Amino acid sequence: MLQISPAKIAHVIIRAREFDAGIPGTGHEDELRAFIASLNDDEQASLVAVMWIGRETFAPEELAEAIATARAEKTAPTENYLLGIPLLSDYLEDGMEALGITLEEAEEDIFPTT
């Protein structure tokens, strides 16, 4: 069971895209690092698991195993690990889709329409 809200994953995807754009002086890296660091251990493990599923290291039906592996193999701060992954936002989006969660649905929780 995923232990992070889709809205939080969507937030990381949006900020990772801004970070990848590399606009100097915008503070996107610092904001993204702080956000990931503020997540609890379960949320961080789930975030890593979603990225692994998107990268096809694990299949969607192996979510529980991916989360357990993320917890067991953590050797560095999660924010350092994830920000070192090229295409992080793409892998997270692909992982969400593989788990049956669309980015658009998750973004609605971040940016509700009135």
Domain locations in the chain as residue ranges: 6-101
Task: Report the SS3 class of residue 102.
Answer: coil
Spatial contact of 7 and 110, defined as CB atoms under 8 Å apart: yes
Whole-number pLDDT of residue 25? 60
Cβ neighbours for 67, distance < 8 A, ≥ 6 positions apart: 3, 42, 45, 46, 49
Whole-number pLDDT of residue 37? 97
Whole-number pLDDT of residue 112? 52
What is the number of other CB atoms lying within 10 angstroms of the CB of residue 48?
A: 26
Give the integer Cα–Cα distance in Å for 23 and 13: 16
Output Rg (C-alpha) for the chain, integer angstroms: 13
pTM attached to this predicted model: 0.89
Whole-number pLDDT of residue 19? 79
Q: Which residues of the chain have pLDDT under 70?
A: 23-27, 105-114
> CA torsion, points 39, 44, 47, 49, in degrees to nearest 10?
-170
Spatial contact of 16 and 47, defined as CB atoms under 8 Å apart: no
Whole-number pLDDT of residue 104? 77
Query: In the numeric block, which tokens belong to residue 84?
Result: 């070192």
